[in-house]
Chains A and B, each alone.
Chain A
């Protein structure tokens, strides 16, 4: 093409100049696709995860450029959008998958933009001949949207060679290859086990274009997540409770079975429980809105994490 794409030529907010014939305005495309809202929402609602947000923008850019190329009749390889999300528990894989469905829908790569979440149980049957209809049923439901397979490595059980998981894998692979415009498959799971899963099923590795790794959250990020969760439930920390909760996070992170965002949510649920019983046991009857929304330091300090019971499986 003679003229460069005016991607940077139009500053945001400037009146969009009518695109010259034979040119395409990517920024206007971007605005028109409704993606800015989704990315804004992503930034607002999801703490941290900078590498992933960057990756999503890259994917969106690629899809937009592909669409622009298509308009000029340039060769466009049908994009493979299947992804794998790896990361520790509670790092936001499912939440992001939901967002992904919305993004792909805005870009027009999936027709409906709904998310179907399944695990091994939904795909693999219990006896011979049970697996194929089950898997196909799920694929039918996911058509036009995103199929999210949580803990995908359970599909493959090498220790049992007659396991029906292999059958589900074969059907999935076939659909991932042949019906790329009908649905996008996202596989999710813990990093090390997913690696082993991909090694054992090279077909999957080659059909999954985007491998996205979710890092663990830092302590400040976890604190922010906690605050946002409280806020969405109409609660808030007292200043001291916030400091104590930061301590709690530092302690809890060192303990086994720490599940990032999910552990935070559970801790907050328990703090709400304690707050409720504290309010209930109070002598003076009248409670203000403030009392009802405030989480005090003692609600968190009562946690067993502070008692040093670090070897317990489920600290409460």
Chain B
């Protein structure tokens, strides 16, 4: 099952050229570009690991793309996303975020039903991949 989250998530995966254009858009707007990765695809997992520092002082997307390439080299089997953080007053939040890399095989999510008082049922989702310890999930 293909995980969709962030901007452009229902489009086919972005090519490197398209990613470059998006990154350049972030830079031109003065947003700090971040590269994050994770191997826990749960939608409520908002805190991904950062690859290096947020990139505040870059003028051209080529610098970010170099970092993305080296992140892919190490964590090519995980989800990698790129986000643009707007530090200006009043925003102070992520303005754009999209997935730039995903595992070759995404097993998807299982629905768990927990029976509860008085025939009530609680639902939760669990990523099949997350049943393995971190680091072994997609390799």
| Chain B residues numbered 58-76 whose CB sits less than 8 Å from any CB in chain A | 58-64, 66-67
Interface magnitude class on chain A: 10 to 19
For residue B86, give the distance in angstroms from its CB to the closest CB of chain A. 20
For residue B12, give the distance in angstroms from its CB to the closest CB of chain A. 26
- State whether B59 touches A182 (Cβ < 8 A): no
With A111-B60, A111-B62, A143-B63 known, 20 other A-B pairs at CB within 8 A are: A114-B59, A136-B66, A139-B63, A139-B66, A140-B55, A140-B63, A140-B64, A140-B67, A141-B57, A141-B58, A141-B59, A141-B63, A143-B59, A143-B62, A144-B61, A144-B62, A144-B63, A145-B60, A182-B60, A182-B62
Q: Which residue of A lies closest to B56 (CB)?
A: A141
Q: Which residue of A lies closest to B64 (CB)?
A: A140
Write out, one digit per residue, whether chain A residues 162-185 have a CB within 8 A of any chain B CB (1) or not (0): 000000000000000001001100
Q: Does A265 contact B (CB under 8 A)?
A: no
The total of Cβ contacts below 8 Å across the A-B interface reads 36
Which residues of A are found within 8 Å of B67, using beta-carbon distances? 140
Which residues of B are found within 8 Å of A114, using beta-carbon distances? 59
Write out, one digit per residue, whether chain A residues 109-143 have a CB within 8 A of any chain B CB (1) or not (0): 00110100000000000000000000010011101
Whole-angstrom CA separation of A166 from B12 in the bound complex = 44
Interface magnitude class on chain B: 10 to 19
- State whether B63 touches A112 (Cβ < 8 A): no
Whole-angstrom CA separation of A141 from B58 in the bound complex = 5
Main secondary structure of the interface of A (DSSP, over half): loop
Whole-angstrom CA separation of A182 from B60 in the bound complex = 9
Main secondary structure of the interface of B (DSSP, over half): helix
Which residues of B are found within 8 Å of A140, using beta-carbon distances? 55, 58, 63-64, 66-67
Which residues of B are found within 8 Å of A139, using beta-carbon distances? 63, 66
Given contacts A140-B55, A141-B57, contact A179 B63 (CB under 8 A): no
Which residues of B are found within 8 Å of A136, using beta-carbon distances? 66
Write out, one digit per residue, whether chain A residues 183-208 have a CB within 8 A of any chain B CB (1) or not (0): 10000000000000000000000000
Which residues of B are found within 8 Å of A145, using beta-carbon distances? 59-60
Which residues of A are found within 8 Å of B55, using beta-carbon distances? 140
Which residues of B are found within 8 Å of A182, using beta-carbon distances? 60, 62
For residue B26, give the distance in angstroms from its CB to the closest CB of chain A. 14
Which residues of A are found within 8 Å of B66, using beta-carbon distances? 136, 139-140, 143
Contact partner, A179, options B57, B58, B59, B62, Cβ 8 Å: B62
- Mind listing 19 A-B residue pairs with CB under 8 Å? A111-B60, A111-B62, A112-B59, A112-B60, A139-B63, A140-B55, A141-B58, A141-B59, A143-B59, A143-B60, A143-B61, A143-B66, A144-B59, A144-B60, A144-B62, A179-B62, A182-B60, A182-B62, A183-B62
Which residues of A are found within 8 Å of B58, using beta-carbon distances? 140-141, 143
For residue A140, give the distance in angstroms from its CB to the closest CB of chain B. 3
Whole-angstrom CA separation of A141 from B66 in the bound complex = 11
Q: Which residue of A lies closest to B63 (CB)?
A: A140
For residue B88, give the distance in angstroms from its CB to the closest CB of chain A. 21
Which residues of B are found within 8 Å of A144, using beta-carbon distances? 59-63
Whole-angstrom CA separation of A183 from B61 in the bound complex = 12
Q: Which residue of B lies closest to A182 (CB)?
A: B62
Which residues of A are found within 8 Å of B60, using beta-carbon distances? 111-112, 143-145, 182
Whole-angstrom CA separation of A139 from B59 in the bound complex = 11
Write out, one digit per residue, whether chain B residues 42-64 have a CB within 8 A of any chain A CB (1) or not (0): 00000000000001011111111
Whole-angstrom CA separation of A97 from B83 in the bound complex = 34
